[in-house]
Structure 1
Amino acid sequence: MLPLIRSHAAFERAEAGIDVAALRSAFERKPSWLAAWIATQRGGPVGYATATVDFSTWTGRRFLHLDCLFVRQDCRGSGIGAALLYAVRAYAAARSLSEVQWQTPDWNEDAARFYRRQGASMLRKSRFVLRVD
């Protein structure tokens, strides 16, 4: 999964700082901090999705935060992204979570079109990051 994470970060013009130990730790915690789905083709990984459970103070309900959904560029358009999103949605429904939320870079128009085709609506917000040292 780590090579896909790095490919995803590079696609979004960023850098992934996670290593195997941190990723393993997120899965091994009880309860796990992270849920993940990996799509394979011909025995190799071609896409992944990761999510965490969060809580909205506005709605008073828990929701699933889709942290990442990525499909290798050479495999896009084949239904892999839709299958991953379906699995994420089913995971949320099985846990009685109110919705799935995520963000994508504003320049990624292909992703926005894909998400709209899947029935998602877009909220106009900007995401900020404040480092805590």
Structure 2
Amino acid sequence: MTVRIRPVERADVGALVELCREHAEYERAPYEPQGKQEQLTAALFGDAPVVAAWVAETDARIIGYATATIEFSTWSCQKYAHMDCLFVRDGMRGQRIGARLLDQVLEYARCAGLPQAQWQTPSWNADAARFYLKAGATSAEKLRFSVDLSRRPGKA
């Protein structure tokens, strides 16, 4: 099987939304696909793109993806690449596809002159933790929090 890693194209966005749905399901998280194709298209290909993305494909079928943004660390006073997502479809894992997607993200960071890339994975995902440690990453114990502002009234 030949797998090609390449930058996402506009024609891929529908497949990317489906992969995001599968990724959320894998991570036991809710996902609402309504409107995501338009939102991702704007984020990836708009006048001021805010995310970079790559897909893994075989036989014209997209089987994985990775996305990254550039963030700023107050502590280090430096920008860094934040890998938001890396996902390979079930049945396709264990074939170095994830490693190749990760390499793309790290190359993106290097080309942007960034000193570091960071990401997170659910604490229960031991397979991902092993994969990242094997790739040379180190881990930091943290809890990740979020607030759904659409469900929380504003403060006056």
TM-score, normalization by structure 2: 0.82
* Structure 2 residue corresponding to 1:89, chosen from 86, 90, 106: 106
Instruction: Tell me which moved more, 109-118 or 15-24.
Output: 15-24
Determine the structure 1 residue equivalent to 2:76. 59
Q: CA deviation at 1:73?
A: 1.5
Paired residue type of 1:16: Y
Q: CA deviation at 1:15?
A: 2.1
Paired residue type of 2:80: F
Secondary structure, counterpart of 1:70 in structure 2: strand
Q: CA deviation at 1:111?
A: 0.2
TM-score, normalization by structure 1: 0.96
Paired residue type of 1:59: S
Paired residue type of 2:20: I
Structure 1: distance between partners of 2:143 and 2:120: 9
Q: CA deviation at 1:17?
A: 2.8
* Structure 2 residue corresponding to 1:41, chosen from 58, 63, 84: 58
Structure 2: distance between partners of 1:121 and 1:26: 29
Q: CA deviation at 1:25?
A: 1.0
Q: CA deviation at 1:42?
A: 1.7
- Counting aligned pairs with the same residue, the percent is 44
Determine the structure 1 residue equivalent to 2:24. 9
Aligned Cα root-mean-square deviation (Å)? 1.0
Q: How many pairs does the alignment contain?
A: 133
Q: Flag structure 1 segments of 5+ consecutive residues without an equivalent.
A: none
Determine the structure 1 residue equivalent to 2:127. 110
Could you report, residue by residue, the CA deviation over 1:16-63 in whole angstroms, capped at 9, with x for unpaired residues?
235111111101233310100000112101100011100000000000
Structure 2: distance between partners of 1:15 and 1:46: 21
Matched, 1:124 2:132: no
Paired residue type of 1:41: T
Structure 2: distance between partners of 1:64 and 1:30: 20
Structure 2: distance between partners of 1:64 and 1:53: 5
Structure 2: distance between partners of 1:2 and 1:26: 13
Moved beyond 6 Å, runs of 4+ = none
Paired residue type of 1:122: S
Structure showing greater radius of gyration is: 2
